[in-house]
Amino acid sequence: MELSELYREVILTHATHPHHYGEIENPDKKAHGSNPLCGDSFDIEIKMDGDKIAEISFVGAGCSISKASASMMTEMARGKTVKEFYDLLDKMEKLVRGELAEKDTEELGDLAALAGVSAFPIRVKCAILPWKTLKNAVEDDG
């Protein structure tokens, strides 16, 4: 169990300086997600452009893993179609469960740093929470 694998520099940076943190004006869709066990709680808002996630923001409180995951997710999901987001979500889940092939991690950019979570099963939920919340936001029909 290597802590440095979990708390990589890029994760700590995202956690302390999260991207797209805040609210957007007149969001088209939104969702709230929480992990009752640890008290992590996130609100995600998005603006759609047709089938594309045009804008995305999040607010909330959580551990470094969930916060960094949320921050990186906003970077990755912006500009993606819903279908592309689902593909990404699938890869992300495999990544944190340690089921993603090494070669498939390349296109994930910063997100690949979350691979270290797979050695800490109890923290997988933290990494996935913002993604599940975004999925709910995407599927939010008012």
Partner 1 sequence: MNSLSGCCKKDFPTLKVKVYGKRLVYLDSAATSLKPESVIESIVDFYSNHNANIHRGVYLLSQEATELYEKTRTKLKKFFNTPKEGEIIYTSGTTAAVNLVASSWGRTSLGEGDVIVLSGMEHHSNMVPWQIVAREKGAKLIYIPVTDSGELDLEEYKLIFKNHSVKIVAVNHISNVLGTLNPVEEIVRQAHRYGALVLIDGAQSAPHIPVDISRIDPDFYTVSGHKMLGPTGTGFLYGRKEILKSMPPYQSGGDMIEEVSLKNATWNELPYKFEAGTQNIAGFVGLGAAVDYLISAGMDRVRKHGEELSMKAREMLSSVKGIKFYGPEKGSPGGVLSFNIEGAHPHDIGTILDSEGIAVRTGHHCAQPLMKRLGVAATVRASFYIYNDEQDIESLYSGIHKVAEVLKLGVK
Matching residue, tokens 């498939």: 104
Q: Which residues contact 36 (CB under 8 A, 6 or more apart)?
A: none
Comparing CB distances to partner 1, the nearer of 7 and 21 is 7
Nearest of 88, 91, 108 to residue 100 by alpha carbon = 91
Nearest of 120, 62, 124, 50 to residue 92 by alpha carbon = 124
Decide: 94 and 115 in contact? Cβ < 8 Å.
Answer: no
Residues in contact with partner 1, shown as a per-residue x/- string from 64 to 83 under the rule CB under 8 A: xx-x----------------
Q: Is 124 in the site for partner 1 (CB under 8 A)?
A: no
Decide: 98 and 115 in contact? Cβ < 8 Å.
Answer: yes
Rounded to a whole number of angstroms, the minimum distance from the CB of residue 77 to partner 1 is 23
Residues in contact with partner 1, shown as a per-residue x/- string from 36 to 65 under the rule CB under 8 A: xxxxxx-------------------xxxxx
Binding site for partner 1 (CB under 8 A): 1, 3-4, 6-7, 12-13, 16-17, 36-41, 61-65, 67, 120, 122-123, 126
